[in-house]
Amino acid sequence: MKNFPYKILFLCMFLPPVFYLLTIQGVENYLHRQQVCRLGNILIGDMDALLEGRYSVREEVPRNLGEYLKQSWLPELGVEMDILVKTKDGRIIYPPPSQPNQDSPVGGPGFNYLEVAADNYQALKDGLDLSLSLRVRFGGWLSIGILLFYIFSSLAVLQHFVRKSIRAAEEAEAEQNRRIQELSQNLKEAGLRLEQIRSREAEYRERMAALKREKEELSRDVDGLLEEMENLEKGLEEEKSLKEKIQSEMSRTREELEGLRIREKHPGASKKRKRLEAAQKRFKVLYKDITMTDRAVEGYLSLPEKQQLKAEEIISRLNHNGEQVHVRRKVFTKGGKKDILETEFSYAGRLYFQRDAGAGIKVLAIGTKNTQTKDLAYLETVE
């Protein structure tokens, strides 16, 4: 769950309702403009018949609107429309009144064509007021379709990012396993080489012992024997040096392999190592003449922020002019003097360093009075 896209999940849950409401509002506004335009065009169908008085505006408008609403597909999609048509003097033409029209039927006794025509003319001259209230009903086909569209769209987006996160996690795990296998193979090869060196070392020792015996037994050709012994001793020293180099390489490989296994089991250790590497890089860039050991960087990172600033001030002064730094004392180890110097910062802080032959400074450890015992024990191991 480390790489799970929680932000995308939140957006996929939050945005569909927002887009749904905005879309419903936009659809209502669009349909309102469209229907107002269409209804305005169909209110009056037969203008000549109205002006001749064959029927009234009160009959024409409801009939045209009724036929239009029967043919419209909007109600089936869940769109509700409330239509109101009035004359300028406030008479409601649509919806028609519930009481039946008391006027004489068209063509019947008492029907006055001139009066109807005059009334129609006046109404058309003044104009008709059309008002429309339109809304998309929740639960209708249109609203359900819009909501389903945004839900399935958000699910598709979420699925895409989840699959992407899974692929990234699988690739990282595969790379981690590949690196572990590679280091394990290197460690195995180094072990084989070490066995070969030990075998050659034993052979050299046997030959040296045989030559020593021959030297004691024979008094002649002493110079030749001594020369051969010197060559063998030189070869033995080279093999010892190679042996130490391979052992050092095996130790580093074991540490790296162990670090990878720890990071695989404990992700927090990987973050700590990244912080350590980032601090090492920063010190190398800022202080060219300073070499920081891992122990020193770890001690620096464990300090509070104020003490870190004081410690870095000492490091900066060592980098520019080490002579300006006050040396509190020289540290003497069990093996003898190693030219390790101690300075202090922020009262309880302790910094241990050496001056290299090339005029550089090597910071060995950084700590406080509370960690002084551990720091001095570490300095005992410094060569």
Tens of pLDDT, residues 77-96: 888 888 888 877 778 878 88
Q: What is the pTM of this model?
A: 0.40
**Residue 351 above 90 pLDDT?**
yes
- Could you tell me if 143 and 65 lie in one domain? yes
* Number of alpha helices (DSSP H) and beta strands (DSSP E) in the chain: 10, 8
Q: How far apart are CA 248 and CA 238, in angstroms?
A: 15
Q: How would you classify the pairing of strands 290-292 and 361-368?
A: parallel
**Is the CB of residue 96 less than 8 Å from the CB of residue 58?**
yes
pLDDT tops 90 at residue 269? no
Residue appearing with tokens 């034993």: 202
Does any domain span residue 111? yes
Residue 256 has pLDDT above 80, yes or no: no
Residue 58 included in any domain: yes
pLDDT at 102 over 50: no
Instruction: Please tell me the predicted confidence (pLDDT) of residue 104.
Output: 43
Pair (11, 146) in one structural domain: yes
Query: Which of 131, 38, 50 shows the shortest CA–CA distance to 87?
Result: 131
Q: What angle in degrees, to the nearest 10, is found between the helix axes of 57-71 and 6-42?
A: 140
pLDDT value at 147 more than 90: no
Q: Are residue 18 and residue 96 in the same domain, yes or no?
A: yes
Residue 86 in any domain: the answer is yes
Whether residue 166 lies inside any domain: the answer is no
Q: For residue 356, is it within any domain?
A: yes
Condensed to tens digits (0 to 9), the pLDDT of residues 204-230 reads 888 888 888 877 777 666 666 677 778
Give mean pLDDT, residues 347-365. Answer: 85
Please say whether the beta carbons of 352 and 310 come within 8 A: no
121 and 21 assigned to the same domain: yes
Mapped onto helix, strand or coil, the DSSP state of residue 2 is coil
| Percent share of the chain, pLDDT over 90 | 11
**DSSP conformational letter for 324:** G
At 339, give phi and psi (nearest 5°). 60, 40
Q: For 32-55, write each residue's pLDDT tens digit.
A: 888 888 887 777 776 766 766 677
Q: Is the same domain home to 47 and 146?
A: yes
Q: Which of 365, 362, 357, 358 is nearest to 381 (CA)?
A: 365
Residue located via tokens 């004359």: 87
Of 116, 150, 184, the one marking the end of a domain is 150
Residues 94 and 204 both lie in one domain: no
Residue 302 has pLDDT above 50, yes or no: yes
The residue segments making up the domain with residue 346 are 278-380
Q: Which of 212, 231, 265 is the last residue of a domain?
A: 265
Same domain, 146 and 10: yes
Does residue 140 sit in the same domain as residue 176? Answer: no
Same domain, 55 and 141: yes
Whether 225 and 282 map to the same domain: the answer is no
Q: Is the pLDDT of residue 1 over 60?
A: no
Cβ neighbours, 10 Å, residue 360: 15
Please answer whether residues 33 and 132 qualify as being in contact, where contact means their C-beta atoms are separated by less than 8 angstroms.
Answer: no
Paired tokens of 320? 């520019």
Q: What is the mean pLDDT of the chain?
A: 80
Query: Is the N-terminal amide bond of 105 cis, ω within 30° of 0?
Result: no
Asked, for residue 165, whether it belongs to a domain, the answer is no
**CATH number for 375:** 3.30.2310.20
Between 305 and 58, the higher pLDDT residue: 305
Among the candidates 241, 265, 289, a domain finishes at 265
Residues 315 and 370 in one domain: yes
Q: Evaluate whether residue 273 is within a structural domain.
A: no
pLDDT number for residue 65: 83
- Answer yes or no: do 117 and 205 share one domain: no
Whether 163 is in a domain gets the answer no
Domain count, the chain: 3
